[in-house]
Amino acid sequence: MSTQLRNDDEWDPQEAAAAEEVLKLEAEVQQMAEKLLEYRATLPDQLHSTLSSLLASQRPVSLARLSVEESGPEAGTPPRPDAEAGATQGLERTVEVEKIQLLKQKMSGNALTVPVVLKRMEVYMGKIEELASSDGVIHPAFKRKRVV
């Protein structure tokens, strides 16, 4: 029965290399854990601010919100009797509110079409540049007549 006795005092290069590798891996795991904790602490705030700024930049431009309570009587109008002033002022406010709503609708519609128009402009500008760089023959009907 031949058994090899192992002496713990002997230095084994393979075990030393393995132990060193384990220490390196443990250090890397510790660094990764610290980075993960840091990302967990800061990433939600960064994502929130980035997303809110992105959404704000893509939001269509609109008029400042005007409320009926904020709009007071105009300074240039002469004072009217109470009964006549109330009826006329109410009618003016409803007309003004309708105009503001119509203007807001038109502006939001125009703001929503801006990206489509920009894309079309980019496409056509590319086509124009392509035609300008080509050596194609331009029909004489499309050439400018020189005025002397």
Taking the alpha carbons at both ends of the chain, their separation in whole angstroms is 119
Helices (H), the chain: 13-58, 82-133
Domain limits of the chain? 14-55
At 64-98, the pLDDT tens digits run 444 444 444 454 455 555 555 556 777 788 889 99
Which H helix or E strand runs over 136?
A: none
In this model, does residue 6 exceed pLDDT 50? yes
- The rounded percent of the chain whose pLDDT value lies above 70 is 72
Q: Which residue has the tokens 């893509």?
A: 58
Mean pLDDT computed over every residue of the chain: 76
At 110-142, the pLDDT tens digits run 888 888 889 999 999 888 888 777 777 777 777
Q: Do 100 and 66 form a contact (C-beta atoms < 8 A)? A: yes
Q: What is the pLDDT of residue 29?
A: 95
Q: What is the pLDDT of residue 75?
A: 46
Q: Give the highest mean pLDDT range of 15-29, 45-59, 87-101.
A: 15-29
- The rounded percent of the chain whose pLDDT value lies above 90 is 19
Q: Which of 111, 101, 102 is nearest to 60 (CA)?
A: 111
Q: What is the pLDDT of residue 49?
A: 82
Q: Is the dihedral of CA 128, 133, 134, 138 positive or negative?
A: positive
Q: What is the pLDDT of residue 50?
A: 81
